[in-house]
Amino acid sequence: MIISHDLGTTGDKATLVDADGRVLAAVTETYPTDFGPHGKAEQDPDHWWAAVCAAGRRLLERVPHARVEAVSFSGQMMGAVLVDGAGRPTRPAIIWADTRSTDQTARMLDRVGMEKAYAITGHRLNPTYSLTKVMWVRDHEPEAFDATRHLLLAKDYVVHRLTGEFVTDPSDASSTNAYDQTAGGWSEDLLDAAELPRSLFPEIVASTTVVGRVTGEAASASGMPAGTPVVLGGGDGPMAALGAGILSPADGAYAYLGSSSWISLAADAPLHDPGMRTMTFNHVVPGRFVPTATMQAGGASLEWIVSTLDPDGDDGRFDRLLGGAAQVAAAEDGLFFLPHLLGERSPYWNPRARAVFAGLARHHGPDHLTRAVLEGVAFNLYTGLRAFTENGARISGVDAIGGAANSALLLRIFADVWGVPVRRRELVDEATSLGAAIVGGVGVGLFDGFEVAQRFADDRAEEAPSPSAHERYGHEYEVFLDAYRRLEPWFETL
């Protein structure tokens, strides 16, 4: 059996998976985020470690006779965990949502240029990435920077706590704005422009690498048997693609509906969009890539509207609000929501963007607001989908994973906006953890190859698009785009 950990934005989901791909148990341990002014978003890496230890112990209590053959990881990407030579954090981790490094990004743009950086990394230069976050620490917190010896990503930090090793994998490396996808290593051009030493950046090894074994000290803290093989794993985006069965260009696309949300597919080479609306990560499958359009606040927009409209409600408040939103007809009322609560990545790459309700009228109530949020998320992801098809990708349907994929209304809105069938996977909540388990199983020889992913999760529901609704949404989508274009200069004044 494999224990996989998915270190997300709000918590660690730990899953116990057997050799047939069955999820025997899954538990989640949450941790807080420190959101602050000027785009601050930080977490305590020791909260991740405590969550991994607690979740792992709970799993083993549920299945007390489990024979654990490996532990593997998926983790939130694009962050910066700065640690000293002993692996102790020199400051809190800066996570993907942090956008404070706008000045450092401007400096990189002056020195490298956007087009050159995009050609090297498959990504725009942007404050959401690791590289300029490290520059920000150097510029604003020199004592913490001087004490730093290693840059890690979220999963890498926990792997270090288990094994003592400092490594990362290509999928996470490709989320840093410092990785050369053609050369397959850290970019000297970008590190020189950032004036950062190569020694900060860890060795890059395959996602399936057995980095080491659980040490005695880590075993005491985590409850994991000492000597258990630790497989490195990868970033949560590419890992979600694997868990959704997206291994090759023939497998279509998938949408992940978590705090941040994205639409993605698999490719044999990086997909460079002339408009640079999308980015490309390395897959955890060697030789494959994951072109992706990621929005900062997909599921987070849904969480926000629910907590805002019903702050003291019970566990059923989400379903109640969606039920009300289902009574509002598609694209009929002239109310729009621009879902940029945390700035935006795809398609605008504007950390200054902010969320907006446009077209509010006196008669609008909670149902209309909720419906507008759902449609705003669908519109924003649609821009990424169009970028893929405009660059030659063939997408006949989309598999949906992540917690919000449980909503039939959301899937129907997606299908109608996007004009393609949208399917719900069997394991919508555990797809990323399943991907991590598959990587772990391949790493220790439990699974023959990554292809097992395609038999481990079936489609459970499908929403087909309504041609008439898709036509109406086509007009509304253009209005949605126009609203952003008109507001973009105003965002700069905030």
- Confidence band (pLDDT; 50, 70, 90) for 245? confident
Q: What is the CA radius of gyration of the chain?
A: 21
pLDDT at position 333 is 79
Give the Cα separation of 139 and 324 in Å (integer).
49
- pLDDT band, residue 457 (cuts 50/70/90): low
The per-residue pLDDT for range 362-383, each reduced to its tens digit, is 999 999 999 999 999 999 999 9
Higher pLDDT, 258 or 168: 168
Question: What is d(CA 248, CA 219) in angstroms, rounded to the nearest whole number?
Answer: 37
Strand 70-75 vs strand 2-7: parallel, antiparallel, or unpaired? Answer: parallel
State the pLDDT at residue 22.
84
The label of the residue with tokens 């404050």 reads 127
Tell me what pLDDT residue 427 has. 66
Confidence at residue 458, expressed as pLDDT on a 0 to 100 scale: 66
Predicted pLDDT at 462: 86
Cα–Cα dist 345/356, whole Å:
16
Tell me which long-range contacts 444-450 makes (C-beta under 8 A, separation of at least 24): 444/69, 444/70, 444/210, 444/229, 444/231, 446/2, 446/19, 446/69, 446/70, 447/19, 450/242, 450/247, 450/284, 450/285
pLDDT band at 319 (very low <50, low <70, confident <90, very high): confident
Cα(25)–Cα(184) distance, rounded to whole angstroms? 37
Structure pTM? 0.87
Is 351's pLDDT higher than 90? no
- Tell me what the pLDDT averaged over the chain comes to: 93
Does the pLDDT of residue 125 top 80, yes or no? yes
Indicate whether 233 pLDDT > 70: yes
CB-based contacts of 98: which residues, under 8 Å, 6+ apart? 39, 40, 41, 42, 79, 127, 128, 133
Residue 258 burial (CB count, 10 A): 24
Report, as an integer, the average pLDDT of 253-267. 89
| Residue 180, φ and ψ in degrees, nearest 5 | -90, 105
Q: Residue 169: count other Cβ atoms within 10 Å of its Cβ.
A: 28
Interstrand relation of 253-257 and 398-401 (parallel, antiparallel or unpaired): parallel
Identify the weakest region by mean pLDDT among 278-282, 355-359, 409-413, 451-455.
451-455
Distance CA 279, CA 419 (A): 23
CATH homologous superfamily of 2-235 equals: ATPase, nucleotide binding domain (3.30.420.40)
Q: How far apart are the C-alpha atoms of 456 and 469, rounded to whole Å? A: 34
Look at residue 449 and tell me whether its pLDDT is greater than 70. yes
pLDDT digits (tens, 9 = 90+) for 22-47: 889 999 999 999 999 999 999 999 99
Catalytic residue among 236, 399, 416, 429: 236
Task: Work out the average pLDDT over 81-89.
Answer: 97
Judged against a pLDDT cut of 70, whether residue 428 lies above it is answered with no
pLDDT of residue 193: 98
What is d(CA 261, CA 303) in angstroms, rounded to the nearest whole number?
12
Active site residue 482: no
**pLDDT, mean of residues 460-478:** 92
What tokens does 391 get?
């660059």
Tell whether the model's pLDDT for residue 252 goes beyond 90: no
Unique residue bearing structure tokens 């090894």: 205
Q: Which two tokens stand for residue 123?
A: 């990504």
Of 84-93, 238-247, 382-391, which one has max mean pLDDT? 84-93
Mean per-residue pLDDT for 345-354?
90
Q: Which of 83-97, 216-230, 337-351, 423-437 has the highest mean pLDDT?
A: 83-97
Pairing outcome for strands 203-204 and 185-186: unpaired
Proportion of the chain above pLDDT 90, given as a percent: 74
Residue 8: how many CB atoms within 10 A of its CB? Answer: 23
Confidence check: pLDDT of 281 > 70: yes
Pairwise pLDDT comparison (435 vs 428), residue with the higher score: 435
Residue 394 has pLDDT above 90, yes or no: no
What is the distance between the alpha carbons of residues 83 and 81, in angstroms, rounded to a whole number? 6
Predicted pLDDT of residue 213:
97
pLDDT score at 314 = 79
- Give the number of other Cβ atoms within 10 Å of residue 87's Cβ: 17
Q: What is the mean pLDDT of residues 295-318?
A: 88
- Name the burial class of residue 399, with classes exposed (0-12), middle (13-18) and buried (19+) by CB atoms within 10 angstroms of its CB: buried
